[in-house]
Amino acid sequence: MVPEGPETRPGARGGAHAPVPGDADEPLLAPADADELLLWALMARFERLALDRYVALAPALADAGDGAKRAWVARLDALPTDAAALAASPLAPPTDALLARARSADETAVLLVQGLVLEHLGQAIYRIAEGTERASDASRSLARDGLAASRAVTAAAARRTADAVGSGEDLYRTFTDHTHGVLGALDALADPVDAVFGARFGLRFADVMGEFVADLVAAGTALGMQRRKIVAHLAGACMGL
């Protein structure tokens, strides 16, 4: 399955729903819970773009974990989310800007922007959503499954990055060139994320970024990049330097 663009949503309210992978006895997300549906509408935009780039340019990532990302996107597409609600929310402008910078055009960019940076960002969000008692059982179950799918991708991305891009200082230079723009677009999400999800889920931008940075630094050092250089790059890019 090659997903449609960011604005086309086959599983959105009013469209045909794809079959949902997973256990039929899993808790269902109530369409009336607008805040939770908004979270999954947001994550679906990131995940559709990721799968689109993997299918086109990094098929090993699309196939990782027996197609875990394909199954995850199909599951998100089957939710009764409302694209119009997301488009009308304060999340839409910074999300549009970030995803515009993330439309990677070659395998190296896909591995670093999607397979490294944005997958680890998603994992931070999924962990927080899974762990909060303020979310429904259905959302915690979704977060757990999204995290598992993402981990399958990051494992495959790390292997492919080492083979195709390299490691150490050479990788660091390529990493900074390809990820500066996407990292620089993250800060604009801070206030909208806190306003929309902070009180409802306890999902706050500072907490997401703390987990994301720790994960990304660990993943980068495992690929031979120097910790202090990764931290410096993240700080500079996020501050627009």
Q: What is the pLDDT of residue 130?
A: 94
Amino acid 25: pLDDT: 55
Q: How far apart are CA 92 and CA 122, in angstroms?
A: 17
Domains plus CATH for the chain? 34-238 (1.20.1260.10)
pLDDT at 1: 33
Neighbours of 164 (CB within 10 A): 12
Judge contact between 198 and 145, C-beta under 8 A: no
Phi and psi torsions of 195, nearest 5°: -70, -40
Instruction: Extract the tokens encoding 193.
Output: 């994320």
Res 29: pLDDT: 57
Residue 45's pLDDT is what? 97
Dihedral of CA atoms 146, 162, 208, 138 in degrees, nearest 10, equals 10
Q: What single-letter amino acid sits at 235? A: A
What pLDDT shows up at residue 113?
98
pLDDT at 27: 61
For 142, how many CA atoms within 13 A lie in the half-sphere containing its CB?
Answer: 27
What is the distance of C-alpha 39 from the center of its chain?
12
pLDDT of 241 reads 52
In whole angstroms, what is the distance from residue 59 CA to residue 62 CA?
Answer: 5
Please tell me the pTM assigned to this model.
Answer: 0.87
Cβ distance 49 to 99 under 8 Å?
Answer: yes
pLDDT along the chain (241 residues), means of 10: 38 36 54 81 97 98 98 94 94 97 96 98 96 91 96 98 95 96 95 92 92 97 97 88 52
